[in-house]
Amino acid sequence: MSKHIRDTFAQCKLEGRPAMITFITAGFPSIEETVPLMLALQKGGVDIIELGMPFSDPIADGPVIQRANTLALENGMNLHKVLELVKLAREKGVKIPIMLMGYYNPIYRFGDKKFVEEAYNAGANGFLLCDLPLEEASHFRSICTSSGMSYIPLVAPSTTNDRLEVLAADADSFIYVVSRMGSTGSTGSLSSNLDELLKRVRSQTGTKPLAVGFGVSTREHFLQIAGIADGVVIGSFLISLINDTPKELREQRVTDYIQEIVGNRPVDISKLVINSEPVHALEGSIEEATNAFMGNGVDKFGEFGGQYIPEILHDCVKELEAAFFAARDDPSFWAEIKSYYPYMGRPSSMHLADRLTEQVGGARIWLKREDLNHTGSHKINNALAQVILAKRMGKTKVIAETGAGQHGVATATAAAKFGLKCTVLMGAEDVRRQALNVFRMKLLGAEVIEVHSGTKTLRDACNEALRTWVTCLHDTHYVLGSATGPHPFPTMVRTFQSVIGREICEEFPKIHPDGKEFPDYVFACIGGGSNCAGTFSHFIPYTQVKLIGVEAAGEGIDTNSHAATLTAGKPGVLHGAKTYILQDSDGQVSETHSISAGLDYPGVGPELASWKASGRATFLYCKDEEALEGFRILSQSEGIIPALESSHAIFKAIEIAKTLPKDKDIVITVSGRGDKDVQHVAELLPKLGPKIGWDLRIDSANQTKC
């Protein structure tokens, strides 16, 4: 099937023109219209169709294709139906090559080998996967080659020459050239450096055909690219055209538009031939060639982690990796961070919760008070360190995602302290329920951008932060707040947060009445994993310490309204890493729910996933009303109002403490303070309060009910 693509480029070259390539999303605007639109594209003069496989979290795509993905999924699209459409298209007369384009997680969930085999049998010719770069693609690429299917590499303006050489060696049909930095979308103009970019790519890739995409929409664009490339790709503009055209006119409008683009070139469909001859395997081992280029490869946590990112992000992630490891090994970097400990409030307090311990009647309960840090949570540990790292890298701006707002506040604070411009991405739902933190961020000089896509929560803020970052890599660092994302972010965030666990180890023997070396249990709440990774990492070698992470069970793990990823999730790929994620059987990321905005996330850090796999840590879950009970108990027993995130760990720690003898010791990391949550709790009490017997309303006699 690769040969069909190569033959198409060869025929176009004989005719003295570039190949016309178009992208449409399977199932958009409806499932029944997909094949007729493919036929209309072929009739108009398209040489190759990229058929988009819808995904819930398309981090490399702009708003037009995002909306097309969302609508297609609402229409019931999945990979099985994509393959059915390919088969139907062949039966109805689509003879030109069909490339399947999308993201890796649905394929990973389907099964790599099974999907490639079924795609071949349906009549597809190859694949183009936005988040499966060289570092992660060797296994999938080998399956494609052995099946006679093409795997199309993407290159970007930031792709280095040595990397181009390896990517070109892997290319068995053509190379997709992303013409500009950023996500997909029609801009009305092409990059002014396109000619120079293609000359550089051509110098490393030789005679391999190059197809140019991103921002192409007009006949003028087509002609501009025709003289310097072998193929022209149109995507977002075509999707918009289809969306804006009445249903009964769409097929003819698509054909007319393509004819306009190709200069009314005559198309004789009867001469098109479907070529199904498999390609011979490339000489040498693809995995060997890739590994030779990468050296030791990307750091992973067992089977988890990695760099599942668009090619456009690769160079900046490598830059960050080099900068982080250099800083990590530089004593002056740590000296600078420690010089700000008085500013941050470190070391944070740790003490016995004596009244809580007395009420529980079991093990002693100790509190590690990250809520007393400057800005009110553990987030300042990572944010300040990353901002210092950004300055070392010469960046003048930072961006961040946030859920509960604590990471956004911490990043805005550090940016203000060091004079960097700060932009924070936050889901619109989280903006509503964390209004106080939004105001704090703005007060600190940050710009807060509401994200209205998807569930309008932390997951969507992460998606948008990655899309935003690729547009401003040269002067901007992404201060990722959780121990998630592509390498080196999980390692970096854990490293900067590990001060929590280190201080517990240092402080505990000093304050324990018997000088006991280690606590018996350590508890931490889990969203993406920064608090948990920072608390647990120092204890990993000390297996006598039981490590217990607590996830958000929302309305219950037997419902669809929870965020208990390690309890109910399956391995998959999200936001640049392989980890556990909440997803459906088709590999689409599930919507989540938690009383706490900071835990309302469908993934988890890959290092935590490895601890689950190895059994080194145990992961429990806590429902909304139980977290509210933890919130109340600590407030009323110790005079400490904890964040709702921390309240999950507090409730479960109390449950365990009740079952233990009094000579056992439990440490809970109180990751943040609850000022930000007070209004939200007041709003929720009428619904959740009766479940735990808590009512703080004012009655008619102006007496508080409690």
Q: Are 343 and 374 in contact (CB under 8 A)?
A: yes
Alpha carbon distance 647, 676 (integer Å): 13
Alpha carbon distance 287, 151 (integer Å): 14
Provide the 8-state DSSP code for 526: -
Q: Phi-psi region for residue 419, left (φ > 0), alpha (ψ -120 to 50) or beta?
A: left
Q: Which residues contact 354 (CB under 8 A, 6 or more apart)?
A: none
User: Tokens representing 69?
Assistant: 């993905």
The maximal CA–CA distance of the chain, rounded, in angstroms, is: 90
Q: Which of 33, 47, 50, 172 is catalytic?
A: 50
User: Tokens representing 587?
Assistant: 């590999």
Provide the 8-state DSSP code for 281: P
Provide the 8-state DSSP code for 590: P
> Residue 665: beta bridge partners?
364
Alpha carbon distance 521, 650 (integer Å): 13
Provide the 8-state DSSP code for 3: H
Alpha carbon distance 211, 335 (integer Å): 49
> What is the distance between the terminal CA atoms of the chain, rounded to a whole angstrom?
72
DSSP states along 358-412: HHH-SSEEEEEEGGGSTTSBTHHHHHHHHHHHHHHTT--EEEEEESSSHHHHHHH
User: Tokens representing 117?
Assistant: 């085999």
In three-state secondary structure terms, 25 is strand
> Residue 570: beta bridge partners?
581
The 3-state DSSP composition of the chain as helix, strand, coil percent (nearest 5) reads 50, 15, 35
Is position 655 annotated as part of the catalytic site?
A: no
Alpha carbon distance 412, 431 (integer Å): 16
Q: Which of 33, 57, 61, 251 is catalytic?
A: 61
E strand or H helix that includes residue 431: helix 428-433
Q: 399: burial class by Cβ within 10 Å (0-12, 13-18, 19+)?
A: buried
Is position 683 annotated as part of the catalytic site?
A: no
Handedness of CA 627, 633, 635, 638 (dihedral sign): negative
Q: Are 565 and 540 in contact (CB under 8 A)?
A: no
The Cβ of residue 235 has, within 10 Å, a number of other Cβ atoms equal to: 28
Q: How far is Cα of residue 167 from the mean position of the Cα atoms in its chain?
A: 24
Long-range contacts of 81-85 (CB under 8 A, 24+ apart): 81/26, 81/27, 81/31, 82/26, 82/27, 82/51, 82/53, 83/118, 83/119, 83/122, 83/124, 84/122, 85/26, 85/27, 85/31, 85/34, 85/35, 85/51
Alpha carbon distance 272, 323 (integer Å): 52
Q: 699: burial class by Cβ within 10 Å (0-12, 13-18, 19+)?
A: exposed
In three-state secondary structure terms, 154 is strand
Q: Are 317 and 163 in contact (CB under 8 A)?
A: no
Q: Which residue, 194, 192, 184, 276, is CA-closest to 236?
A: 184
In three-state secondary structure terms, 126 is strand
Question: Angle 458-469/311-328 helices, nearest 10 degrees?
Answer: 90
Q: Which residue, 3, 6, 42, is CA-closest to 22?
A: 42
E strand or H helix that includes residue 494: helix 489-497
> Which residues are annotated as catalytic?
50, 61
